[in-house]
Structures are given as C-alpha cells and as structure tokens.
Amino acid sequence: MFDTKMTVKKNIAILGSTGSIGTQTLDVIRANPDAFAVEVLTGNGNADLLIKQAIEFDPNTVVVADESKYQYVKDALSSHDIKVFGGNKAITEVVQMDNIDIVLAAIVGYAGLESTLSAINAGKQIALANKETLVVAGDIVTALAKQKGVNLYPVDSEHSAIFQCLVGEFHNPIEKIYLTASGGPFRGKDSAFLSSVKKEQALKHPNWEMGAKITIDSASLMNKGLEVIEAKWLFGLKPEQIDVIVHPQSIVHSLVQFTDGSMKAQMGLPDMKLPIQYAIGYPDRMKSDFPRFDFMKYPHLTFEQADTKTFRNLALAFDAMNKGGNAPCVLNAANEIAVAAFLKDKIGFLQMSDVVEKSLQTVSHIAKPSYEDYVETDKETRRVAIALI
C-alpha cells in the first residue's frame, strides 16, 4: 500500500517559547520532527532557557524581548547560524518573515497583542494561546483575520474543545456553549477565607501547571471571565449564548449545544500538549503517547454552578463583555496590574476584584474604539489601577 499523504513540514514561530505553553509546544515539536520546523523563538527574561532552546531547535531567528539580555544571547549563539535580535519591536517584525507558516502566540498578557496583529497582517496562520489579545481588541483582531484569510486556531483547552466539537458542523448554528471551569484551588471557599490567602496558596492549581499570571487568574476565576470574552470573538457568539459550568475534574473540556438540543463535548486528561498539538497540526490528528483517560479512575464527573458572588471577577468579566467597547480592555489591564501587585504581596486576593471594579467605573467608556483607543485605554487603566494600589 502506498501512503499518498504528503507530509509538508510546517514552519513555526513560537512567541513566548520559554513559558509554560512555549515549552510544551517544543515538547510537541520534539516528538514530531517530521511535521514541524522551528523558524523563530522568542523569550523575555529567561535568556539561558532561550539559548538552550535555540541550540536544540536551530531556528532561523531568536528574539529576546528584554534588551538588556540581547548581548548575552547574541554572544552565546555566536558560533551558530542563528540571527539574534532584541526588543519587542523585533518580535513584531520577525513574525512577518516569508518562511513562517504558523505563529504560535504564547506571550502572556497585553504584551502579546501587537506581535499577533502583525502576524495576522502578514497572513500568517495563528495558533492562539494569548487570550488577552482577544479580550483587549477582539473586534479588530477578528476583523483583520477575516480580511487576511487567517484562521485563529485556539490553544486554550476550552476553546480547542469547542473547536473540535465544531469540526464538520461549521454550517450548523450554535445554540449555546458551556465553558467548563475547574473552580481552581479555592472552589467552595468563602470571602472570609479568601481575604487572607497568600500567593503560595493561589499558585497551587489542582489540575494544571501554568505560568504565574494565568494560575492566579484561575484561582480568582478571572481566567474563566477572560475565556468567556475570548469565546465570544472566536466563535462569533452573543453574550447570552455563553455559559460557564464548574467541573472540578477538568475532563470535559467544554461543550457545544446545537439548535436541535444535541450537545457535543470534548474530553480527555488535562494536558495542554493536546490542544497545542491540535492547533498546530490541524486538520490532522497526530498520534501521541500522552497518558490516556481511565474511567475507573474517574467514576464521578461532577458539575456545579460557579459562585460569582464570592468570585466577583467572573461577574465583572460578563459585565465588561455586555458593556462592550473598551470595557474588556479596561478589565484586562486592571487585572494585569492587580495580579502583579498580588504576586508582590502588595494587595490581598479579594482586593484584586476591587481594583478591577473601580477601574471599570473610572476609565471613560468608548463604544467603538480604534486600535489607538485600545492602546490609550490600556495605558490609562494601568495608571488608574496603580493609583488604587
């Protein structure tokens, strides 16, 4: 038998290669050397890891966003045929290189917006981990992607689940979706308990190992709030079509309900390598040796309502989405400041929601923001939020 399937290597740029998503993407690529070639790696603070990755994967170009580390990285790679640049502007430029097929956007926070937009502008396919990009400027990002014929392949596990449920159903309208949430380490706790929790407790997620910012967001349910807004833009949904359900085992990764009442779910053990591999391997399902689900280890899959009274961030995110315009951009910027302050022990866990709520009340609303409006809103919100801390 002849195998008629052509294997064409996809050339990948990994933005944020030193982070949790970035390193797991390299794990997937290491296991599938015939399917992918690494063209670009970028990192920020962890220069040594970036250098190690560059030596292993031999990309065309490496960018270290932190310019103070540029000379160090350049010297370390001087005997290799790898171009080295420093600064965020360089990331925005190199994503447009001709030989890149797909850009995996895994920088954390607002910092990932500009490079993702630049890649879309150059017509690169996007595997999107950086959910903040869609929270901040989902209208601009999705309109540009449509105009350029670019697909945004979700890496976020819930959105990957929805996408996997929709394959073969793109012509069928969605009635609603359910995003599942683990509930994080503080599920079932009350405000009295939360008022005294420390970052060490919040950084212990029951099911996932992730970067610090998203781990805190998961504990405060802001992550789910950001994901609700991300889903609105990725799947073109109205706010009332998006629901959140707490599912502590993180086995059902999300669900779609169609107009005939039928529901599809995507399931599996919690492992980000699976949605990463699906996003960069689409439309193929590539073989993997990830551990398989065992029903006997999970005799009970449970579901419960999210507690939005205690975990106010989720309610604030729904409010911001309903308000629209620059409100989600305000929500995101205030949250980035609040999380950074919490990680430095400057504010308590519950105060993070206070900072977000007050910022939403203070920063002036713009109903139809331009890109420049979003940039200005982000800056102004950071000033407002810092003043609140």
Taking alpha carbons only, the member of 79, 383, 343, 335 closest to residue 203 is 343
Q: How far apart are CA 54 and CA 81, in angstroms?
A: 10
Instruction: Using the structure block, give the residue that is written with the tokens 């939005």.
Output: 308
- Work out what residue 131 binds among ligand NAD, Mg ion, none; the CB cut-off runs from 5 to 8 Å by kind: ligand NAD
Closest listed residue to residue 236, CA positions, set 177, 168, 313: 177
Residue 277 found at the interface with ligand NAD (CB under 6 A): no
Between CA 330 and CA 318 the distance in angstroms is 13
Our finding on whether 38 is near ligand NAD (CB under 6 A) is no
Span interacting with Mg ion, options 99-107, 116-124, 157-165, 197-205, rule CB under 5 A: 157-165
Residue 19: CB minimum distance to ligand NAD, A: 2
**82 versus 276: smaller Cβ distance to Mg ion:** 276
19 binds ligand NAD (CB under 6 A): yes
Q: Is 86 in the site for ligand NAD (CB under 6 A)?
A: no
Count of residues that bind ligand NAD according to CB under 6 A: 27
- Which residue's structure tokens are 């990764």? 253
Among 13, 21, 279, 352, binds ligand NAD (CB under 6 A): 21
Span 158-217, contacts to ligand NAD by CB under 6 A: 208, 210-211, 214
Q: Which residues contact 313 (CB under 8 A, 6 or more apart)?
A: 220, 221, 222, 225, 335, 352, 353, 356
Query: Binding to ligand NAD by residue 88, rule CB under 6 A?
Result: yes
Among 102, 272, 330, 340, binds ligand NAD (CB under 6 A): 272
Task: Note whether 230 binds Mg ion by CB under 5 A.
Answer: no
Q: Please write down the HEC assignment for all residues of 192-229.
A: HHHCCCCHHHHCCCCCCCCCHHHHHHHHHCHHHHHHHH
Choices 50-58, 140-148, 154-162, 332-340 (CB under 5 A): range interacting with Mg ion: 154-162
Residue from 47, 111, 135, 136 touching ligand NAD (CB under 6 A): that is 111
| b/e 283-308 (16+ beta carbons within 10 angstroms → b) | eeeeebeeeeeeeeeeeeeeeeebbb
Contacts of 91 (CB under 8 A, 6+ apart): 15, 42, 63, 65, 107, 115
Span near Mg ion by CB under 5 A; candidates 152-160, 269-277, 283-291, 322-330? 152-160
Q: Which helix (H) or strand (E) element contains residue 320? A: helix 312-323
By CB under 5 A, tell whether 156 contacts Mg ion: yes
Stretch in the footprint of Mg ion (CB under 5 A) among 15-23, 148-156, 239-247, 324-332? 148-156
> Shortest Cβ distance from residue 267 to Mg ion (Å)?
15
Residues 54-73 that bind ligand NAD (CB under 6 A): 65
Q: Which does 92 bind (CB under 5 to 8 A by kind): Mg ion, ligand NAD, none?
A: none
At closest approach, how far in Å is the CB of 88 from Mg ion? Answer: 25
Residue owning tokens 């899959």: 301
316 contributes a contact to ligand NAD by CB under 6 A: no
21 binds, among ligand NAD, Mg ion, none (CB under 5 to 8 A by kind): ligand NAD
Contact 166, 242 (CB under 8 A): no
- Is the distance from CB of 182 to CB of 248 less than 8 angstroms? yes
Number of residues that bind Mg ion (CB under 5 A): 3
* Nearest approach, Cβ of residue 44 and ligand NAD (Å): 3
How many C-beta neighbours within 10 Å does residue 261 have? 7
Residue 134: what are its φ and ψ, rounded to 5°? -80, -30
- With beta carbons less than 8 A apart as the criterion, state whether 85 and 60 touch: no
The three-class DSSP label of residue 111 is: helix
Identify the residue among 106, 194, 246, 334 touching ligand NAD (CB under 6 A).
106
What are the backbone angles phi and psi of residue 168, rounded to the nearest 5°?
A: 90, -5
Q: Which does 277 bind (CB under 5 to 8 A by kind): Mg ion, ligand NAD, none?
A: none
Q: Site for ligand NAD (CB under 6 A): which residue of 156, 271, 336, 380?
A: 156
User: How far apart, in whole angstroms, are the C-alpha atoms of residue 152 and residue 105?
Assistant: 10
Contacts to ligand NAD by CB under 6 A: 16-22, 43-46, 65, 88, 106-108, 111, 129-132, 156, 208, 210-211, 214, 272
Contacts to Mg ion by CB under 5 A: 156-158
